[in-house]
Amino acid sequence: MLTWPRPQIPQLPGRGDPVRVRDTSTGELVVAATGDAATLYVCGITPYDATHLGHAATYIAFDLLVRSWRDAGQRVRYASNVTDVDDPLLERALATGVGWRDLAIEQTALFAEDMTALGVVPPDVYTGAVESIPAVAHAVRDLLAAGAAYRVEAPDAAGHGRGDIYADLSVDPDLGRVAGLDRDEMLALFAERGGDPARAGKLDPLDPLLWRRERPGEPAWDGGELGSGRPGWHIECAVIARDGLGLPFDVQGGGADLRFPHHELSTSHARLLDAGQGARIHVHAGLVGLHGEKMSKSRGNLVLVSRLRALGENPMAIRLAILSHHYASDWDWTGADLDLARARLERWQRAVSGNGGPDATATLAAVRAALSADLDAPAALAAVDVWADDALRADGTDSTVIGAPGVVSRAVNALLGVRL
C-alpha cells in the first residue's frame, strides 16, 4: 500500500536520551527499545469514515515515539496496516450504496492527506488487509496444522458458515498477559468489540475467528484447504507485524480500545505462530471524546481533521491542540483547545522570527527530557513556552545568542512535528 510523503526532520545538536514509555501490560515505565534498531507496529484505520481527532491523537502519539527514537540515534522500523476489508466497512458500503473497495480507497486517501497535513512520519511498511490475505491464509493453515485452531462445522443460526476456523485459546498458557483482565471482563469486552461469544460450536466463547467462510454477497478469497473466505481481524495484525518487523518486535500500539480483545488476541496468535513472542511491550493512547462520549465512527460523534482543514484551520494548530494533552490520558475535544493552540502557534512563530534570542540549550534539553519520559508533550510545550516568553519579552531585539531561535524552531519541528 502507498504511504504519504515523509516530512523533513531537521538535524539537532547532540542526541536525545533513551525513550521510556509506560507498558500498559505491567504499568511500568520501561525503555521502549533497547537495541540500535527500534521496531513499532501501530494498528491502522478501518477506512469507512474519515480521520477523526481520536485517530489523529493516536497516530501523533506514536509519531512522537518515532521522532524521539530517531533523536536518540536509533534506527526505526515502523509498520502499520489498513483494515480494508472488515464487517463495519462492508456494512457502511452496503448502507450507502458505494462499492466497498471504492469506499476503502477513498477513505485511505483522505487519511493519507490528513496525516501529511499533520506532519506524521509515515510507516516504513504499510500493508492492507486485502493484500495480506495469502500470508494470513498460510498462517491460519499453520495454526490448524499445529493444533492451535479448529473448524466450527456447525452452521450458525442462519444456516451458514460451515467450516469457519477459530483459534483454540486453551493452547496458549500466556493468554491474558497483555490486558490482565479477569474472565468476566474479557467476555464483556469481547462481545462489545467485534467478538462472537455466543457462536455455537466454539470450544470457548472467547475463541476468536481466524477465517470466515464465504457468505452470500460478501467478498471472499481462495484460502486453499481453508476454502474461500476472508480472515479474522486479530490474525491480520499478527501476520502483518510478523512479516513487516519480524518477531519479537519492540512496541505494539494503538488506542486504548484495542487493548482487549485486539492486542491480547493478536499477541496470542503471534506467540503461537512463531513459538515465541509478539510485541515486547504494549502502549496505548487514551481515548478522545466529544461531549463526554468516546469519538467513534459507529456513534457518529466525530470531529474530522479534514473538516477542520476545509474550514481553514492550520493543521499545526490542530497538532498543537492534541499535543497539549498527555497521550495516555482520556480527554474531551473542545474548541477551547484549538483557540489556545492557535495563540500558542502565533506566539512561537513570533518568538523564533529574530536572528538572536535567549540561549536555547536548556530548552532543547528540557524538550528532550520531557519526551523521553513517557512522551510528555504537555511538559515539552511548557518548556518551549518559557523560552518563547523570554524571547518575546525582548520584543525580537534579544541578540544574546545568534542562532538560538533556529535551534528552537528545528527542535519543535524535529521532536514535536510542529512546523513554525
| Footprint of ligand 5CA (CB under 6 A) | 43-46, 54-55, 57-58, 81, 83, 237, 254-255, 257-258, 285, 287-288, 294-296
Q: Indicate which of ligand 5CA, Zn ion, none lies near residue 257 (CB less than 5 to 8 Å, by partner kind).
A: ligand 5CA
Residue among 74, 66, 98, 11 at smallest CA distance from 253: 66
Comparison of 323 and 388: residue with beta carbon closer to ligand 5CA: 323
Residue 82 touching Zn ion (CB under 5 A): no
Q: Near Zn ion by CB under 5 A, which window of 229-237, 305-313, 319-327, 368-376?
A: 229-237
Amino acid of residue 42 = V
Comparison of 7 and 286: residue with beta carbon closer to ligand 5CA: 286
Q: Indicate which of Zn ion, ligand 5CA, none lies near residue 44 (CB less than 5 to 8 Å, by partner kind).
A: ligand 5CA
| Long-range contacts of residues 103-111, Cβ cutoff 8 Å, at least 24 apart | 103/47, 103/48, 104/47, 104/48, 105/47, 106/47, 107/45, 107/47, 107/48, 107/49, 107/50, 108/1, 108/45, 108/47, 108/82, 108/84, 110/50, 110/51, 110/306, 111/45, 111/47, 111/50, 111/51, 111/55
Residue among 383, 387, 382 at smallest CA distance from 404: 387
For Zn ion (CB under 5 A), the number of binding residues is 2
Between vectors from CA 377 to CA 372 and to CA 381, what angle results, nearest 5°?
120
Characterize 391-403 residue by residue with b for buried, 16 or more Cβ atoms within 10 angstroms of its Cβ, and e for exposed: bbeeebebeeeee
**Shortest Cβ 258–ligand 5CA spacing (Å):** 5
Comparison of 121 and 408: residue with beta carbon closer to ligand 5CA: 121
**Shortest Cβ 283–ligand 5CA spacing (Å):** 11
**Shortest Cβ 128–Zn ion spacing (Å):** 12
**Shortest Cβ 351–ligand 5CA spacing (Å):** 31
Residue 237 touching Zn ion (CB under 5 A): yes
Is residue 282 a contact partner of residue 270, using CB atoms and an 8 Å limit? no
**Shortest Cβ 357–ligand 5CA spacing (Å):** 36
Q: Which neighbouring-strand residues pair with 151?
A: 165
Q: Indicate which of ligand 5CA, Zn ion, none lies near residue 285 (CB less than 5 to 8 Å, by partner kind).
A: ligand 5CA
Q: Indicate which of Zn ion, ligand 5CA, none lies near residue 239 (CB less than 5 to 8 Å, by partner kind).
A: none
Comparison of 306 and 353: residue with beta carbon closer to ligand 5CA: 306
Binding site for Zn ion (CB under 5 A): 43, 237
